[in-house]
């Protein structure tokens, strides 16, 4: 969730533990607000004079034993309950400020298992959910072949005031997998595979004029999080290795189109770009910064910028990436962060000592000097360029040498498929060139 003011940063301290933590608590969508105003107007016009009936309906719904909400607006449900005579609730998968996510059996689709996000029966969450539905419908129409690693919405409906969104059932989030694996880093080959899919998916969003604005490990899920278990004698513990590192991006509740109003604060703290903190405005490039932060977290197993204070966050950036360019500091509206054209920061204070202890220059985090590691750090450094205008685009990122072996594999795979087709065509041509008309008639009989 994006915190609106530094004074409210305390609410960000408990990081979301899975993708089900719906981050759009403000209900800021102009799309959904317009839609709901239009609905209210139509409802008011068609039901003029029926306020007593509506009041009675609300009271009777509250008294209903079959559909009840708790004090926080969550739908009260039990295992085995049926929604829309289609979705049978199996268990709870996650819970957040927005509502809950449950695993369901879809009886209209041969008993397939789905994840159903059940939004609280509260206006601002309902409006935010409708905004996400609109984005998901658009993405689904743009990616009918599922070529990009974005989660697909299967269905949505309103259940007694609760917007419910059905998704394909996926595995653990990348954050949860790290957590359950004692925050052991991912192997670099897995990082390469995951990074390629994430960057392609986010580039797909950007090409369709959409910025995700809340990319983080919690919002990237494995398609299947099954793993091999192996004992590490040095660490004296079991360690998990994924069988399949394929991922998908989820949670489009904060996704924003280019033409829409851009709120001043976006992204979860640890993945927030410097231009957002400095209130310089933001665009697609804020997603690029977030992806860079995600990749270093996959490499280290822990968050790079572990702080909840904006000035301290900027000081950590300077410790890792070098001084913030003067031209950015001169343009910031956050004058309290600046003194004499530099970040107003005392390295000898207790906060300064904390930053020096917990942060070091980016290249110093490299655990190995191998070519793949050097390429990854070069990529991350270019994705975490301070100036958004100079920051690597995702088109450029996909052409980075770190992904050269990925492209070679894909090219080899395509060549193999083409080769098989060519072999088949050659065989057919040879067959018909040697078979006589009489023999062909005999075959057909």
Residue at token pair 């990749």: 295
How many other CB atoms sit within 10 Å of the CB of residue 190? 17
Structural Rg of the chain based on CA atoms:
26
Site of tokens 């080769």: 419
Give burial (CB, 10 Å; 0-12/13-18/19+) of 120.
buried
Distance (Å, whole) CA 92 – CA 115: 9
Round to whole Å and give the CA distance between 335 and 366. 35
| DSSP structural state of residue 365 | G
At residue 106, the 3 state secondary structure works out as strand
Any catalytic annotation for residue 214?
yes
Partner residues linked to 104 by β-bridges: 89, 114
Binding site for ATP, residues?
Answer: 117
Q: Which among 342, 312, 340, 339 is positioned nearest to 328, based on CA atoms?
A: 342
User: Which residue is listed with tokens 């913030």?
Assistant: 324
d(CA 253, CA 219): 11
Residue 291 bridge partners (DSSP): none
Residue of 18, 106, 176, 214 with catalytic role: 214
Q: How far apart are the first and last CA of the chain?
A: 70
Cα–Cα nearest to 303, from 358, 364, 237: 358
Ramachandran quadrant class, 142 (left: phi over 0; alpha: psi -120 to 50; beta: rest): alpha
Which residue numbers are catalytic? 214
């Amino acid at each position: 969730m994006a915190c609106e003011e530094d004074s409210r940063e305390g609410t960000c301290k408990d990081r979301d533990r899975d993708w089900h933590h719906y981050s759009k608590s403000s209900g800021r969508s102009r799309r959904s607000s317009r839609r709901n105003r239009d609905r209210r107007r139509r409802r008011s016009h068609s039901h003029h004079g029926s306020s007593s009936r509506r009041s009675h309906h609300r009271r009777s719904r509250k008294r209903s034993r079959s559909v009840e909400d708790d004090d926080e607006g969550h739908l009260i449900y039990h295992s085995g309950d049926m929604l829309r005579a289609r979705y049978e609730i199996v268990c709870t998968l996650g819970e957040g400020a927005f509502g809950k996510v449950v695993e369901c059996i879809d009886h209209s689709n041969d008993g397939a298992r789905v994840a159903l996000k059940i939004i609280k029966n509260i206006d601002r969450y309902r409006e935010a959910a409708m905004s996400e539905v609109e984005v998901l419908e658009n993405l689904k129409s743009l990616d009918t072949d599922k070529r990009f690693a974005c989660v697909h919405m299967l269905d949505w409906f309103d259940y007694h005031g609760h917007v419910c969104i059905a998704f394909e059932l996926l595995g653990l989030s990348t954050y949860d997998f790290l957590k359950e694996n004692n925050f052991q880093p991912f192997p670099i080959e897995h990082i390469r595979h995951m990074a390629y899919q994430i960057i392609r998916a986010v580039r797909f969003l950007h090409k369709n004029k959409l910025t995700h604005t809340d990319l983080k490990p919690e919002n990237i899920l494995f398609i299947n999080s099954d793993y091999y278990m192996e004992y590490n004698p040095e660490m004296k513990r079991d360690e998990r290795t994924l069988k399949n590192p394929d991922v998908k991006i989820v949670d489009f509740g904060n996704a924003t189109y280019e033409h829409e109003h851009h709120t001043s604060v976006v992204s979860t703290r640890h993945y927030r770009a410097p231009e957002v903190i400095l209130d310089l405005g933001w665009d697609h490039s804020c997603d690029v910064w977030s992806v860079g932060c995600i990749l270093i977290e996959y490499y280290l197993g822990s968050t790079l910028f572990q702080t909840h204070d904006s000035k301290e966050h900027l000081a950590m950036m300077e410790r890792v990436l070098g001084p913030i360019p003067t031209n950015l500091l001169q343009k910031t509206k956050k004058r309290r962060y600046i003194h004499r054209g530099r970040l107003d920061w005392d390295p000898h204070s207790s906060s300064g000592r904390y930053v020096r202890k917990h942060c070091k220059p980016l290249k110093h985090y490299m655990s190995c000097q191998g070519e793949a590691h050097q390429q990854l750090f070069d990529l991350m450094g270019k994705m975490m360029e301070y100036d958004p205008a100079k920051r690597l685009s995702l088109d450029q990122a996909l052409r980075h040498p770190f992904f050269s072996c990925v492209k070679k594999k894909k090219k080899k795979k395509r060549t193999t498929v083409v080769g098989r087709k060519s072999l088949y065509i050659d065989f057919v041509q040879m067959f018909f060139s040697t078979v006589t008309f009489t023999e062909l008639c005999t075959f057909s009989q």
